[in-house]
């Protein structure tokens, strides 16, 4: 049974920021999104343009090291502060947060489960954004059922040879590395015991020499979440040494690392959802006060008031669930259920609020000239990513029963 246990994570470093520091940080980022991001979102989103200039600015803010400990050069932010930043940026353009969130999930895996030498080597490079990346779990035939993946790592020399295909990988084209989930023992029972995690760079960070076995496949077309790249990744005879690349230095722990990284990932999706829900509420509230029908603003019609009342309540509840999960994460408590509840409720709230905002806008809600149309296309992803909401409810129920035995 010992193999079935989660590998012991390294203790989390505290950032030591005061409330005032946090407010200052939120102020600076809030001004940036309002002044520099907002005017360009409609065009860049419509044309699916990768936001290189915004990435440079996010590097300057330190967002690629937001949750990485200060000892590796990161900001060491608490999850609660991080979640507020993510919500704030998502109010303007949710896609931007995907660029550093997927990256930070890779970093979290190295920081929690990597060897000391791996932390020292990789984390400072992740902090600056010199190497940016993401998390490569999903395959064409396995998403929710992660234990069904087929990407294979076979021992070879002092490392492994990897073959397989991943899909839907955020930052797959623009990023330089991924945390790659593979099978090292395809006959293991249960299968999760035969899974391992590698840090897989496209090029050797020391020499810059590309790894011929790591190929970026096609960029995937999608409904929303434009700007950020989602791609297929193909590994063919891809050779990695174990010491630097096999996270934790031993095989068989990858499934638990993926699940451990998803806690922060779910808090992040909840925070992004809060941003979308809030923006939909704000747009609908403003529009309802200016659009008149039958001689008065539609905000004075009871049918619209019922919608706005529900949207505002939903948004607040989503914020509070997200804060609750982040607080538990910061306290080092087990928070898979709390993160799941926040992710589930906030993402459904984003989707419902986006739909309601569109309805409140009438025909204009269907126009590409109003932001609610974009929110309507962005929101459904929140119900799919980091564990679908179908699975989320099943996991919440299992946890709830486990915590309340008769
Ligand atoms: C834009 C975008 C970005 C993404 N980014 C990444 C990324 O960076 N890295 C990455 O690894 N993946 C990424 N993904 C993949 C995403 O995580 C998966 O799509 C998701 O996990 C669902 O997997 P699937 O698509 O294979 O659906 P499936 O697993 O095939 O599920 C299909 C349906 O069946 C339901 N279902 C499945 N099993 C059960 C069950 N046991 N009980 C009840 N219902 C069930 C699901 O909820 C869903 O409704 C991304 C996806 C998108 C669309």
Which residues does the annotation mark as catalytic? 386
According to the model, what pLDDT value does residue 264 have? 87
Q: How confident is the model over 123-132, as a mean pLDDT?
A: 96
> Token pair 């906030």 is at which residue?
346
| Protein residue whose Cα sits closest to atom 25 of ligand 1 | 143
State whether the beta carbon of 389 lies less than 6 angstroms from ligand 1: no
DSSP string, 103-165: HHHHHHHHHHHS-HHHHHHHHHHHHHTSS-EEEE--BTTBSS-GGG---EEEEETTEEEEEEE
pTM summary value: 0.94
- Please give the span between the terminal C-alpha atoms of the chain, in angstroms, as a whole number: 25
Q: pLDDT digit string (tens) for 210-269?
A: 999 999 998 999 999 999 999 999 999 999 999 999 999 999 999 999 988 788 889 999
Q: How far is the CA of 293 from the centre of ligand 1 (A)?
A: 43
128 φ, ψ (degrees, to nearest 5): -80, -15
Does residue 189 surpass a pLDDT of 70? yes
Residues 6+ apart with CB under 8 A from 395: 336, 337, 340, 387
According to the model, what pLDDT value does residue 15 have? 58
Q: pLDDT digit string (tens) for 344-366?
A: 999 999 999 999 999 999 999 99
The domains of the chain, with CATH numbers, are 2-128 (1.10.540.10), 133-252 (2.40.110.10), 256-403 (1.20.140.10)
11: confidence class by pLDDT, cuts 50, 70, 90: very low
Q: Quote the Cα angle for 321-170-353, to 5°.
A: 40
Give the CA distances from residue 266 to residues 92, 147, 161, 322, in Å, rounded to whole numbers and listed in that order.
20, 19, 31, 9
Q: How far is the CA of 385 from the centre of ligand 1 (A)?
A: 7
**Percent of the chain whose predicted confidence (pLDDT) is above 70:** 96
């Amino acid at each position: 049974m010992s193999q079935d246990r989660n590998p012991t994570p390294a203790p989390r470093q505290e950032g030591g920021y005061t409330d005032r520091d946090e407010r200052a940080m939120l102020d600076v980022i809030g001004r940036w999104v309002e002044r520099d991001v907002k005017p360009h979102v409609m065009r860049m989103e419509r044309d699916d343009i990768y936001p290189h200039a915004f990435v440079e600015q996010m590097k300057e803010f330190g967002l690629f090291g937001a949750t990485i400990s200060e000892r590796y050069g990161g900001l060491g932010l608490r999850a609660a502060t991080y979640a507020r930043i993510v919500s704030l940026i998502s109010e303007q353009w949710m896609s931007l947060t995907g660029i550093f969130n997927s990256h930070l999930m890779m970093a979290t895996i190295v920081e929690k489960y990597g060897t000391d030498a791996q932390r020292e080597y990789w984390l400072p490079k992740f902090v600056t954004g010199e190497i940016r990346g993401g998390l490569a779990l999903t395959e064409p035939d396995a998403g929710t059922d992660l234990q069904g993946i087929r990407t294979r790592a076979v021992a070879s020399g002092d490392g492994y040879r990897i073959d397989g295909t991943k899909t839907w990988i955020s930052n797959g084209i623009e990023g330089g590395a991924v945390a790659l989930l593979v099978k090292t023992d395809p006959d293991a029972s249960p299968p999760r015991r035969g899974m391992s995690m590698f840090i897989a760079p496209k090029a050797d960070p020391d020499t810059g020499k590309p790894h011929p076995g790591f190929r970026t496949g096609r960029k995937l077309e999608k409904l929303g979440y434009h700007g950020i790249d989602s791609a297929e990744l193909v590994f063919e005879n891809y050779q990695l040494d174990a010491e630097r690349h096999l996270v934790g230095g031993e095989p068989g722990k990858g499934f638990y690392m993926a699940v451990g990284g998803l806690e922060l990932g779910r808090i992040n999706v909840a925070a992004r959802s809060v941003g979308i829900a809030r923006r939909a509420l704000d747009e609908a509230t403003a529009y309802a006060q200016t659009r008149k029908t039958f001689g008065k603003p539609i905000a004075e019609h009871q049918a619209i008031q019922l919608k706005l009342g529900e949207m505002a309540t939903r948004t607040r509840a989503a914020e509070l669930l997200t804060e609750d999960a982040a607080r538990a994460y910061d306290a080092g408590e087990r928070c898979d259920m709390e993160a799941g509840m926040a992710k589930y409720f906030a993402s459904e709230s984003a989707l419902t609020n986006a739909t309601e905002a569109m309805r409140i806008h009438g025909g204009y809600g269907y126009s590409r000239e109003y932001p609610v149309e974009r929110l309507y296309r962005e929101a459904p992803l929140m119900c799919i990513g980091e564990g679908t909401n179908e699975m989320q409810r099943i996991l919440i129920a299992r946890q709830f029963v486990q915590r309340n035995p008769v």
